[in-house]
Amino acid sequence: MSYRLDVVSLAPQVFSSLKELGVIGRAFSEKIADLHIHNPRDFAIDRYRKVDDLPYGGGSGMVLKPEPYFAAFDSIPKSSRNRVLMMTPQGNLLSQNDLTRWSTNYEQLILLCGHYEGFDERIRTLADEEVSIGDFVLTGGEIPAMTVVNGVVRLLPGTVGSEESLYLESHTDLLLEHPHYTRPAEFCGLAVPSVLRSGDHNAIKEWRDAQRVKRTKERRPDLYQKWLNKKKVLE
């Protein structure tokens, strides 16, 4: 059965590019995953298809109305193993562990995208989790939603040719990925490390492991410290 992704968005056209995006597009064409977009404007209850209104208590901006979002949400066929995510800068920061958890523990994700000043607070009751991709504000939740869709679909069995490569990537186990090289052996005076050309697979693995630790310590000391703490617990 295909992994189902449903996105509730006022800008449905932006998601069409996902179906043309390399291995992600192929995953959709091969029915590893299915993507469905639902526009709350199609569920507005007035003739102007209004989805926002002035905030109670005054203030700047417009607030997304609950009726169209609840109606769009209710129209979605739901699996018993679904998870509802709200894209908001107030949410928990997205991590690789989240993507892995959603791709393995569930068979359907429903993503709610906002606009304008934000959601009517009652819309938040639909969500199991609130998700942010960083401490900044965008004009809508579409880019964060596309990030989640991309990150989840690439982890689904059959999407990536070599599933082993998924477990060697940055952030999978807190460490960043090791350096990569290809031909030519020397370019602009920069040579490929001799160990990678040695044919000694044990030495290559040791070099790569050491490089992951070194690179993480230099570039992301916060992750390096988390890795050290986890390592101490396991020891």
Q: Is residue 198 part of a domain?
A: yes
Type of residue numbered 125: T
Residues 86 and 134 in one domain: yes
Q: Is residue 53 part of a domain?
A: yes
Residues 100 and 188 in one domain: no
Residue 10: CB atoms within 10 Å? 19
Of 127, 153, 179, which closes a domain?
153
| pLDDT value of residue 170 | 55
| pLDDT value of residue 35 | 98
Q: Is residue 129 part of a domain?
A: yes
| pLDDT value of residue 167 | 53
Q: Is residue 7 part of a domain?
A: yes
Crossing angle of helices 22-29 and 142-153, in 10° steps, is 70
Residues 136 and 180 in one domain: no
| pLDDT value of residue 163 | 59
Residues 94 and 174 in one domain: no
**Residue of 159, 156, 177, 158 lying closest to 168 (CA atoms):** 177
Residues 139 and 190 in one domain: no
Question: Along the 235 residues of the chain, how does pLDDT read in single tens digits?
Answer: 899 999 999 999 999 999 998 999 999 999 999 999 999 999 998 888 999 999 999 998 999 999 999 999 999 999 999 999 999 999 999 999 999 999 999 999 999 999 888 999 999 999 999 999 999 999 999 999 999 999 999 999 999 865 555 555 556 788 999 999 999 999 999 999 999 999 999 999 999 999 999 999 999 999 999 999 988 888 8
Q: What angle do CA 155, 161, 165 make, to 5 degrees?
A: 65
Range of the domain at 57: 3-153
Name the DSSP class of 11: -
Of 124, 153, 182, which closes a domain?
153
Q: Is residue 160 part of a domain?
A: no
Residues 143 and 228 in one domain: no
Residues 69 and 8 in one domain: yes
Residues 136 and 201 in one domain: no
Q: Is residue 164 part of a domain?
A: no
| pLDDT value of residue 45 | 86
* CA 92 – CA 145 distance, rounded (Å): 14
| pLDDT value of residue 161 | 65
Residues 138 and 184 in one domain: no
Q: Is 171 exposed, middle or buried (0-12, 13-18, 19+ CB in 10 A)?
A: middle
Q: Is residue 162 part of a domain?
A: no
Distance of CA 67 to the CA centre of its chain: 27
Judge whether 113 and 145 are in contact, CB under 8 Å.
yes
What CATH number should be reported for the domain holding residue 192? 1.10.1270.20
Domain count within the chain:
2
| pLDDT value of residue 116 | 83
- Residues 6+ positions from 173 with CB-CB distance below 8 Å: 167, 227
Residues 121 and 188 in one domain: no
Residues 178 and 62 in one domain: no
- Predicted TM-score (pTM) above 0.85: yes
Q: Is 144 exposed, middle or buried (0-12, 13-18, 19+ CB in 10 A)?
A: buried
* Integer Rg of the chain from CA: 22
Q: Is residue 144 part of a domain?
A: yes
Judge whether 24 and 41 are in contact, CB under 8 Å.
no
Residues 116 and 219 in one domain: no
What CATH number should be reported for the domain holding residue 25? 3.40.1280.10
* CA 88 – CA 134 distance, rounded (Å): 10
Judge whether 18 and 149 are in contact, CB under 8 Å.
yes
